[in-house]
Structure 1
Amino acid sequence: MGIVSTDEPYQKLFNQGMILAFAYETATGAKVASDLVEEREGRYFHTETGEELKQIVAKMSKSLKNVVNPDDVVTQYGADSLRLYEMFMGPLEATKPWAENGVKGVFGFLGRVSRFFGNSESYFEGEEDQEVLKTLHKTIQKVGADVENLSFNTAISQMMI
């Protein structure tokens, strides 16, 4: 374009989606901070008024007290679990709600991967394992293509199969 005197620092800018969190609102649409919410039998109630609340997905905010501190997640599940879960949540450009159960699931998956490779000497020894190796190679090919397309969620999902 000739507007700036230097080459562009990148070929393509990609803005990722926003990570959301659960929030609560009254029948009139007023938002309620999460520390004022009590869950009973899968329903949500205002602790001060007893009014039943609707669970919604909204932008994380300090006023709603629905912010997830990444330091706490890293302390409990590890940085790899946090990073992998953020990539697994959905398409990179989509907005997506945070769910701690998802982090727990990814943490468990990483544990299984670690145990598998810790015992890898006992795998792929017989002829029957050739089918497993074929599946492995197909998975590597699919994951590689998904990563090139920035489809991290489907790449991770493929590895979890």
Structure 2
Amino acid sequence: MLAFLTACALWWLYFHLAASAIAHALRTHPTPAVVVRDVLSYGHLVLVAGLLLVSVGAQRAVQAPLATPHGLAAGLLPGGAGLFTLTFCYTRRRMFGAASVTRFYGALALFATAWAASLLPALATTALTAGLLVTVNALEHWLLTSGRGVPLVLRQRDA
């Protein structure tokens, strides 16, 4: 169930804001080819790589939930989710000049979870990953529905 929740949270992360942001950027960006090249090509290549890492990590976690994985395999699930989440910072920065604080710090927390994953049972790593992703989504949803807007970080400097 936690692996399914992780998949749902990744889906929500993409379709809640990213799909409409890409459509808006294609309509309004001064150079739509930049959006096509950097976001729809390079960005989505990295998103797919993150999803592949998540799927392999989730498969391993489901097969042996109480085992403590070792080495690089331990961090596949949260590391892939972190890569997926951090990619939105790159794509949003390419489209609008800044990335969201929620996704940036969410990705950092996922990478920290990947680093600690070799010390935890796979079930705990999966629970932390799912919890972090749901938290990022819920926080963004709350910020937007309450009219606050998502804070930005990594702004491009004006030339």
The normalised TM-score by structure 1 is: 0.28
More helix by share: 2
Q: Determine which structure has greater relative contact order: mean sequence separation of CA pairs < 8 Å that are 6+ residues apart, divided by chain length.
A: 2
More strand by share: 1
